Chain A
């Protein structure tokens, strides 16, 4: 039978200095570079997409103002997405919440997760609405330039796409997100109970 003092003695003899400080500096650099690279990649991708859409907008001859509006909506939503990403990256590393007491930190994680869930599902909903709206606006242009049967195909495909987004993709996405959130919140609640009840 061992008592706690023997456990303490055993603890003292374990080997120390498991990692070199240079490894930490190396990781700091790597993390900084990966952060910059990811941000750069996202900006370039969105930039190319924007350039492409802008070129189409300038070169194509649209006959109705609704097509121009559709273009503005798409470009606006892409710029908005890029802004959200940049702000998110900026916020990732600098935070004072890390210095809070464990129970306060857990409470923060719970509220952060819930707000991210709300934002993600809301953003997806907005995305579906914007795409649908743009397709509807383009349909007006199509009405003037396409033969009836082609217009019909365009409308059927557009409506089909909207229905798939609304009732298949969005439902799947929301269900998956909700499940993930539930798992995380359960784990955090368990931790929270330990820190608020037993401590």
Chain B
């Protein structure tokens, strides 16, 4: 029988990367992403006893992550979306290598998407299975596939547009 601490450490090792990417994609800057990721896992720790195994524990954690992000934007998003996107772009980390630069650029592009699209695309990029993404977002798998198809096109277009600049 694992102790709460052992279980938590295992969950952190398995899921922290995905949650960090989710938060980074959502907020557009690494400091806020770190902050939200920690906030997510604090909530996981506080509520671990109430996990009822009705779904996979990863699904449960991703939902906490998404809802933590939604709460964050509730406070941060006091301006119009465009203004926020400008803020996100300005606050993206300073790249140190070519690869870092490309990744920073990719996050800038993700920041141009709508919030729900950011959530879905980061989960897709982290190769979370479609049925799990559908469960996390509370939509049908068919609907999700259509949506993912659209977001992929949108993100690719934005990314290529940035590259041409």
Contact = CB atoms under 8 A, between A and B. Distances in A.
Interface of A: 1-4, 7-8, 10-11, 13-14, 16-19, 21, 23-24, 27-28, 31, 93-106, 109, 183-184, 187-188, 190-191, 194-195, 198-199
B33 A18 contact: yes
A7 B159 contact: yes
Nearest to A8: B125
Contacts of B81: 190
B45 A191 contact: no
A28 B26 CA distance: 23
Contacts of A106: 70
Contacts of A195: 116, 137-138
B63 to A, nearest CB: 6
A-B complex: 3 closest residue pairs judged by Cβ atoms: A101-B138, A194-B116, A199-B139
14 contacts: A4-B152, A11-B21, A14-B103, A21-B12, A27-B42, A94-B46, A98-B47, A99-B67, A101-B138, A105-B67, A109-B70, A188-B74, A191-B73, A195-B116
A22 B105 CA distance: 30
A99 B135 CA distance: 11
Interface of A is mostly: helix
B116 A94 contact: no
Contacts of A198: 114, 116, 147
A191 B66 CA distance: 12
B102 A187 contact: no
A143 B103 CA distance: 77
A7 B9 contact: no
Interface string B61-86: 00110111011011001100100000
Contacts of B64: 98-99
Nearest to B77: A187
Contacts of A100: 63, 67
